[in-house]
Each structure stands twice: as structure tokens, then as C-alpha cells.
Structure 1
Amino acid sequence: MTSRIRPATRHDLAAVQEIVQAAYRHYVVRIGREPGPLLDDYAALIGEARVHVAERDGLVLGLVVLLPQDDAMLLDNIAVAPAAQGSGLGRLMLDRAERMAIEAGYDAIELYTNEAMTENIALYTRIGYSETRRVEEKGLRRVYMRKALDRSP
């Protein structure tokens, strides 16, 4: 299977929205409301060139949203279609996000997840992210995490 990550286009909007729904809808019961990624305007994010999609054999199966910040690249969202979960596609997208952050001149990448998404916190910790703070924003309890990026060749 051939995988590639590319900038999303307006033609990817339906696939992006479908993947986000499938990846986050089950958290509604746990959190008590829709998680942040279900509320985002993906048409606008695609128009701003903030979304990249992961394709495998021509099918869009994942996405990553990156937002430049002052001191770190913000990994705003990463989602993998349920059919592709466990296939390594998420890890491929995380690695690409880190490379894109380095290419943009950042020394760190930051993300946040809902504190109720404990499996996400554990995953990010295993791959080198450290918790930096917990805050309530937009009615959601978020855990911010940060990873220093290795800029060596």
C-alpha cells in the first residue's frame, strides 16, 4: 500500500469532515459535549492551507491540522479513519507534522487533548511529549503537551 501526505484541497472537504466525525463522535458521551475538532470549520482551514491529508492507494484516510504559533507549531488536530487505525498511518502523520514544524523553523511542536481522552495523553507521552499545563478553554478541559524537535540532519 502506498501512503502519501499532501495539502488538502476543497475536494477533500467531505472526506475530512467524515473522518473527523468518525474519529471524535464517540467522545461526546465521555466528555459530555462535542470535542473541539467536531466544531472546527474545515472549509476555512483547508482554504488557509492548514490541513494536510494522508492518502493510501488514492483514498483519504487521515488528516492533520497544523497552526503556526509564536513559539511552537500547534498540532491542532490529527485524525485517522477507523478503517485505517492501527495501520501506522497516524504515526506517519505525526512524523510528517514534526518535519513540517522543523521546516517552518520551529524547535518545538505543541498539542492539546481533552483530559478525558486519557489514551491520547498516554500515547503522546510515549512518543516524547510532556505535559505543560491544564486549562479550561471554550468549556473544555484541555491538557497541553509539548515536544522538543530534533533539528539535526
Structure 2
Amino acid sequence: MIEMRRARAEDAQSVRQLVREAYARWVPVIGREPMPMLADYDAAIRDHEIDLMVGDGEIIALIETIAHPDYLFIENIAVSPLHQGKGLGRRLLVHAERQAEAAGLFELRLLTNGAFEANVRLYQSAGFQIEKTEPFMGGTTVYMRKQLGG
């Protein structure tokens, strides 16, 4: 059984480890560590909302969000490599939609690396549209948004 809970200060190391494992596959693709691998998760847990998917007492996935006045920004989605391909990323996106709507927000936004083609496809299949792209550190940042009902 998988449950959702908010990350706490004592989860910072586990969050950091999950993110590093989840993003490790992209290091050879872009030739560097993706930005989420470099984040300060002590500060992120304090300053943002990080919701964890926990299965059998283990953190298996997470979503980090930041509420803005007119949209909810998805800062990070990470799924343990052992649990990728099981629909957890899509479930986390639905969780973000519910979170946004509960806060009276009707748009989700996120950024991703253009080289992360599987992620771009996932977001597009979940209703996100590419707003724009721009060069970043030798690659391309893809800005995406999804309008929610309301």
C-alpha cells in the first residue's frame, strides 16, 4: 500500500538520496548532474511543499511544489528507479492538480530539460503544453504549463 505524507526535516537525507538515484540516469545524457541533484533539501523541505509517496516504510517517490499567486509550480518530481514505469509520476501530477485546485489555483507550471524526452512526453500526455524553450548550460530548458478546470 502506498500512502502520501508531507516531508519533514528528518526526511532531508532520504529525499536527497531518492532524487540522486532518480536523476542519475540523466547524467550521461546531459553530461552533468541535473539541477535537482544539486538542491539543498533541508531548505526545500522548510521553504516548499514536498509530498512523499511511501510504500512499505520506504520513500519511493516525491513531488516538490511552490505556490505562486496565480499558479502552482512543480519544482521536482522524482521516482525511485525501482518504481519507475508504474504510473507513480502520473499519480504525482494528479496530486499536484488537486493541491492547486484546493488552493484556488487553475494552472500548473514546470520546467524540464529538453534532453529528458521521456519526461516531456509524460507531461504532454498528462495535458501539459510547451510554452517556450530557451538555452541553458549547453542544453534546452522546456517551459510547460497546464490549465486546470475552473
Report the TM-score when normalising by structure 1: 0.90
Q: Does 1:47 align with 2:46?
A: yes
Percent identity over the alignment is 37
SS in 2 for 1:63: strand
1:61-108 deviation line (CA, Å, top 9, x unaligned):
111110122431111100011111122322221111111111112110
Contact 1:8 1:49 in 2 (8 A): no
Partner amino acid for 2:6? P
Partner amino acid for 1:95? V
> Distance between the aligned counterparts of 2:45 and 2:140, measured in 1?
26
What is the Cα deviation at residue 13 of structure 1? 1.4
Match of 2:93 in 1: 94
1:21-77 deviation line (CA, Å, top 9, x unaligned):
111122122112211111111110111242111111321111111012243111110
> Distance between the aligned counterparts of 1:49 and 1:7, measured in 2?
10
Match of 1:71 in 2: 70
Match of 1:117 in 2: 116
Instruction: Give 1:1-153 correspondences, 5 Å limit.
Output: 2-137=1-136, 141-151=140-150
Contact 2:131 2:144 in 1 (8 A): yes
Unaligned runs of 5+ in 1: none
Report the TM-score when normalising by structure 2: 0.91
> Distance between the aligned counterparts of 1:103 and 1:28, measured in 2?
36
Tell me how many residue pairs correspond in the alignment: 150
Change in CA separation of 1:148 and 1:90 when aligned onto 2, cut-off 3 Å? same
> Distance between the aligned counterparts of 1:43 and 1:111, measured in 2?
21
Provide runs of 4+ in structure 1 moved above 6 Å. none
Partner amino acid for 2:95? R
Change in CA separation of 1:67 and 1:49 when aligned onto 2, cut-off 3 Å? closer
> Distance between the aligned counterparts of 1:9 and 1:139, measured in 2?
35
